[in-house]
Amino acid sequence: MKLCLLVGALVLPLSGERATLAWTHSVEKQLWEEDWRATATGPVIEAARVRGSGAGMEAGEGAHRVGDAWEWLPKPPPPARVVLARSGATADWRICEEGVCRPMSAILPVEADRVTLTVCDDAGRPRG
């Protein structure tokens, strides 16, 4: 199992079962990161980090300082898929795998919107 991105009929398998989604908040201009892992039931969030606070950027319950960020384990039910909006009005999402981060536009067209993070089998076919 590995994480993959879906855009329409396009399936883009990521390199493994873990990845970090990172973005800059449109109002507060602070970095937000979420660590995701592929499981049989779908992507599961393992940690979230934010480097500031403000409009909609409060650290979650049980947050503690790790370096220059607040980090916590969100408790939502595991989704089968995570939808990522790309409006063009803000900086693009960044995908980080094995310590290497790149903008989503490096792997998908800038105009590709409604990108979905989900789980694929080892052959790159979406599960569920």
25-73 confidence digits (pLDDT tens): 766 677 889 999 999 889 999 999 988 766 666 778 888 888 888 888 8
With bands split at pLDDT 50, 70 and 90, how would you rate the model's confidence at 119? very high
Domain assignment of residue 125, yes or no: no
The percentage of residues in the chain with a pLDDT greater than 90, rounded to a whole number, is 37
Cα 109 from chain centroid (whole Å): 17
Domain assignment of residue 64, yes or no: yes
Domain that residue 76 falls in: 2-118
With bands split at pLDDT 50, 70 and 90, how would you rate the model's confidence at 77? low
Query: For residue 45, what pLDDT is reported?
Result: 92
Domain assignment of residue 68, yes or no: yes
Residue 70 CA: distances (Å) to CA of 51, 56, 58, 60, 77: 6, 14, 9, 9, 21
Q: Structurally, how many domains does the chain consist of?
A: 1
Summary mean pLDDT of the chain: 85
Domain assignment of residue 48, yes or no: yes
Q: Give the ranges where 15-61 is alpha helix by DSSP (H).
A: none
SS3 10: strand
The percentage of residues in the chain with a pLDDT greater than 70, rounded to a whole number, is 89
Contact 24, 14 (CB under 8 A): no
Contact 103, 85 (CB under 8 A): no
Residue 123 CA: distances (Å) to CA of 13, 20, 74, 103: 9, 22, 30, 24
Element (H, E) at 11: strand 10-13
Query: For residue 85, what pLDDT is reported?
Result: 81
Domain assignment of residue 126, yes or no: no
Domain assignment of residue 39, yes or no: yes
Query: For residue 78, what pLDDT is reported?
Result: 66
Domain assignment of residue 128, yes or no: no
Strands (E), 40-124: 42-50, 64-66, 69-72, 82-84, 94-97, 100-103, 115-120
Domain assignment of residue 123, yes or no: no
